[in-house]
């Protein structure tokens, strides 16, 4: 399916200059810890105008909607859990989805609210923990939970809550971090996930990548939840979910990046397709950093 393009909001137009200034002022304190990035200036602009850079997330949402027949055609009721600074929530609302945005961090909720105001969108935003959602059961056709699962205290409880608020034929678009990612998605360092956690923490400190400033109370690598594939699939099954790997499906269809176009030749034969699948699963196990997944409810919770 195709995600609808941006549509004009129907609410009263916002004061663009004032809200843009307020948005940048709220965001900047939460970016200062990343000044070590060589592309910091460009990265900062993307964070401030985050809703304009959601092409990949919207593509994943379209892929999630295509994984199984849906009762209702999109746009639909969507919960963006862990909305962060609101870029995806606003982009989805602009495309006609009825969005509720939640995040554990009150400052991020405030940023999301200002971003929605900047675009004159009526977007409910609230602070909440994923393990205890202040929402009725069976309310949403879709849940997006991007870059969240590794940060919660109880991943199993979060998955149970997602199953509770989801309608029977709904689906969850979620990301999870590979315990053996070759390059860590949070600290951007090679190989630290192959080290004992105490050694990895020492390397992070030595290289000055520890989060400070506004983030001085945030999680360390050792306190985050990274997963092996079997561990994650088992947790999902406890809440009645079947895990679909969007990247595995893409690879099986020969949808490869130009740098790996030569692998597409394997999809021309049955044996080649099987080999490509094995190659991908090896990559997923010991190289890939972030898994992009859909959770489908094919069975009642155990």
Report the phi/psi class of residue 56: left, alpha or beta, with left for phi > 0 and alpha for psi in -120 to 50: alpha
Residue 94, domain member (yes or no): yes
Give residue 8's pLDDT.
Answer: 39
Give residue 273's pLDDT.
Answer: 77
CA dihedral over 222, 223, 225, 230, signed as positive or negative: positive
Residue 218, domain member (yes or no): no
Is residue 4 very low, low, confident or very high in pLDDT (cuts 50, 70, 90)?
Answer: low
* Burial per residue of 143-168, b for 16 or more beta-carbon CB atoms within 10 angstroms, e otherwise: bbbbebbbbbeebeebbbbbbebbbe
**C-beta neighbour count of 205 within 10 angstroms:** 11
Parent domain of 87:
16-178+224-297
**What global pTM score does this model have?**
0.85
132 CB-contact burial (10 Å; exposed 0-12 / middle 13-18 / buried 19+): exposed
Give residue 274's pLDDT.
Answer: 81
What pLDDT, in 10s, does the model give residues 208-257?
A: 777 654 544 467 888 899 999 999 999 999 999 999 999 998 887 777 66
| Number of domains, the chain | 1
Give residue 261's pLDDT.
Answer: 67
Residue 140, domain member (yes or no): yes
Q: How far apart are CA 138 and CA 37, in angstroms?
A: 42
Residue 206, domain member (yes or no): no
Q: What is the mean pLDDT of residues 174-198?
A: 93
Residue 122, domain member (yes or no): yes
Q: What residue ranges in 11-67 does DSSP mark as E strands?
A: none
**Residue 115: which of 214, 27, 8 has the closest Cα?**
27
Give residue 154's pLDDT.
Answer: 95
Residue 196, domain member (yes or no): no
Tell me, what CATH number does 38's domain have?
A: 3.40.50.150
Residue 31, domain member (yes or no): yes
Q: Which residue has the higher pLDDT, 271 or 51?
A: 51
């Amino acid at each position: 399916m195709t995600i609808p393009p941006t549509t004009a909001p129907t609410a009263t137009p916002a004061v663009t200059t004032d809200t843009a200034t307020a948005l940048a002022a709220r965001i900047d304190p939460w970016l200062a810890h990343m000044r070590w990035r060589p592309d910091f200036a460009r990265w900062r602009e993307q964070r401030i105008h985050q809703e304009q850079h959601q092409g990949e997330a919207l593509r994943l949402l379209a892929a999630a909607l295509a994984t199984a027949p849906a009762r209702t055609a999109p746009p639909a009721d969507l919960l963006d859990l862990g909305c962060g600074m609101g870029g995806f929530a606003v982009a989805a609302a602009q495309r006609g989805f009825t969005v509720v945005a939640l995040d554990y961090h009150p400052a991020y909720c405030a940023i999301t609210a200002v971003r929605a105001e900047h675009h004159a969108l009526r977007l409910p935003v609230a602070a909440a923990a994923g393990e205890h959602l202040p929402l009725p059961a069976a309310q949403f056709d879709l849940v997006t939970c991007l870059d969240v699962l590794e940060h919660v205290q109880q991943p199993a409880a979060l998955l149970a809550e997602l199953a509770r608020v989801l309608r029977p034929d709904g689906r969850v678009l979620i990301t999870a971090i590979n315990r053996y990612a070759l390059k860590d998605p949070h600290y951007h360092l090679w190989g630290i996930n192959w080290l004992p956690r105490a050694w990895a923490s020492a390397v992070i400190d030595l290289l000055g990548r520890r989060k400070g400033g506004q983030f001085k109370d945030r999680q360390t690598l050792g306190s985050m939840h990274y997963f092996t594939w079997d561990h994650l699939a088992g947790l999902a099954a406890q809440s009645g979910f079947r895990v679909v790997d969007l990247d595995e499906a893409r690879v099986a269809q020969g949808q490869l990046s130009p740098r790996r176009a030569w692998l597409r030749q394997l999809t021309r034969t049955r044996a080649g397709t099987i080999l490509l699948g094995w190659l991908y699963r090896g990559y997923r196990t010991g190289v890939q950093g972030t898994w992009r997944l859909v959770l489908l409810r094919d069975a009642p919770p155990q």
